[in-house]
């Protein structure tokens, strides 16, 4: 029989404040799974009309699936968060796009009718589990020259992108990074970020007990002169520094997805509707270019063009990869549609968690900009991939689906 796919809506999203990785970071003594649990509990708290047994899947991403980020995290975190034993869960890994993939996998299952409501998110505790911990890359990948050795070091791939596009200068990257810091500082001052942050109780060997209530990585007041003095991290006299790239961070995210019918039946708010998505592979040596073909593919599948996109949430793993995207599509470096509240250079980028941060912020932008119909979340992905998801604004005059603003935090 022919099957009619269900429309999928993004109901709500939350995240922990992002911390600096390492012994001095605020989450040094906090378990990764506890960060996820806090997010799931907050998602459930925000929707008191949602019976927990209606959540039929928990998909949680982690790049380094070991220790407190292992043991089928989606299932274990769901149980510990108070979901019933009948709710299944699983873990997923697509490096930086882990949470993004958790969302698209969950959404695809909802669209197909496998279930109606799911929770998707991600976590990365890079202080406890540095990127690459415990991995054993097959020597053939280098010996048989499938990739250049630089493909396995993300910072080196960013330098390779500078080589390929010399017009993407360090000066442009530094200016973009300062813009990210400034926009995040303004968003905090305007109270835009705080509503989606889940307060986390912390314990630190030196600082004792505390509460994590805001992001730790931001460096407000940073200037281009400050960044010009930083040493390049991956190549002598290179372009990539700690100032124009995201740092090493700890944090978690989670969001609630539902079929449009289930959202209507339960009176859930609708933050946005999923239009289409795409993941692609690119040369691993220049993985930062990945969002470009991913976006082109998603736009084609959706029957849209880049001119139809009115808001962009682009992950700032490195300033150079965002600038490569903007140049390709003819968008100015300081276009106000791009990362209105700053990005990962300022906020932090706990790898597998970041995709849901992009989505949550886009849904907030939609609420403030009913004149914008479509928005994009996109990111580059390690080992040469890119991901892009197109969303529709339920507040737009031409939106034809169900919408209910009640129940939002």
* Beta carbons of 39 and 253 less than 8 angstroms apart: yes
Active site residue 96: yes
Q: What tokens appear for 174 in the block?
A: 């530094």
DSSP state of 305: -
Nearest by Cα to 359 from 335, 388, 322 = 388
DSSP class per residue in 321-390: HHHHHHHHTT--TT-TTB-TT--HHHH---GGGHHHHHHHHHHHHHHH-TT--EEEEEEEETTTEEEEEE
Q: Which of 39, 129, 380, 395 is catalytic?
A: 380
**Exactly one of 96, 125, 162, 255 is catalytic; which is it?**
96
| Residue 301 CA: distances (Å) to CA of 108, 278, 361 | 15, 8, 24
Cα 100 versus chain centre, distance: 6
**Paired strand residues for 212:** 200
| Alpha carbon distance, N-terminus to C-terminus of the chain | 41
Interacting residues of 300 by C-beta distance below 8 A, sequence separation 6+: none
Q: 125, 129, 162, 349: which one is catalytic? A: 349
Residues marked as catalytic: 96, 349, 380
């Amino acid at each position: 029989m022919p099957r009619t796919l269900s429309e999928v809506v993004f109901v709500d999203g939350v995240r922990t404040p992002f911390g600096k990785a390492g012994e001095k970071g605020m989450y040094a003594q906090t378990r990764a799974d506890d960060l996820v649990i806090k997010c799931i509990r907050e998602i459930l708290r925000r929707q008191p009309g949602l019976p927990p047994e209606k959540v039929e899947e928990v998909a949680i991403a982690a790049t380094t699936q070991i220790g407190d980020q292992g043991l089928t995290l989606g299932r274990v975190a769901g149980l510990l968060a108070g979901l019933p034993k009948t709710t299944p869960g699983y873990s997923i890994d697509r490096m930086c796009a882990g949470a993004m993939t958790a969302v698209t996998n969950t959404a695809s299952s909802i669209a197909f009718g496998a279930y109606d409501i799911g929770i998707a998110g991600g976590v990365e505790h890079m202080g406890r589990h540095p990127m690459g911990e415990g991995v054993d890359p097959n020597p053939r990948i280098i010996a048989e020259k499938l990739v250049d050795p630089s493909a396995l070091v993300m910072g080196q791939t960013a330098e390779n992108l500078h080589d390929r596009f010399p017009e993407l200068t360090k000066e442009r990257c530094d200016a973009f990074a300062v813009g990210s810091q400034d926009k995040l500082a303004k968003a905090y001052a305007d109270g835009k970020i705080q509503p989606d942050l889940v307060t986390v109780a912390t314990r630190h060997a030196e600082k004792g007990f505390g509460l994590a209530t805001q992001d730790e990585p931001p460096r407000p007041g940073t200037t281009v002169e400050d960044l010009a003095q930083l040493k390049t991290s991956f190549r002598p006299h290179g372009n990539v520094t700690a100032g124009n790239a995201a740092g090493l961070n700890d944090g978690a995210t989670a969001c609630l997805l539902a079929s449009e019918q289930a959202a209507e039946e339960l009176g859930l708010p609708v933050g946005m509707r999923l239009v289409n998505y795409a993941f692609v592979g690119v040369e691993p040596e220049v993985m930062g270019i990945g969002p470009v073909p991913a976006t082109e593919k998603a736009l084609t599948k959706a029957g849209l063009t880049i001119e139809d996109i009115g808001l962009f949430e682009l992950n700032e793993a490195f300033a150079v990869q965002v600038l490569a995207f903007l140049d390709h599509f003819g968008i100015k470096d300081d276009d106000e549609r791009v990362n209105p509240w700053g990005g990962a250079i300022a906020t932090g980028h706990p790898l597998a968690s970041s995709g849901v941060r992009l989505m949550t912020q886009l849904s907030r932008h939609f609420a403030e900009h009913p004149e914008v119909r479509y928005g994009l979340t996109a990111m580059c992905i390690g080992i040469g991939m890119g991901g892009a998801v197109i969303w529709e604004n339920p507040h737009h005059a031409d939106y034809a689906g169900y919408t209910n603003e009640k129940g939002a935090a």
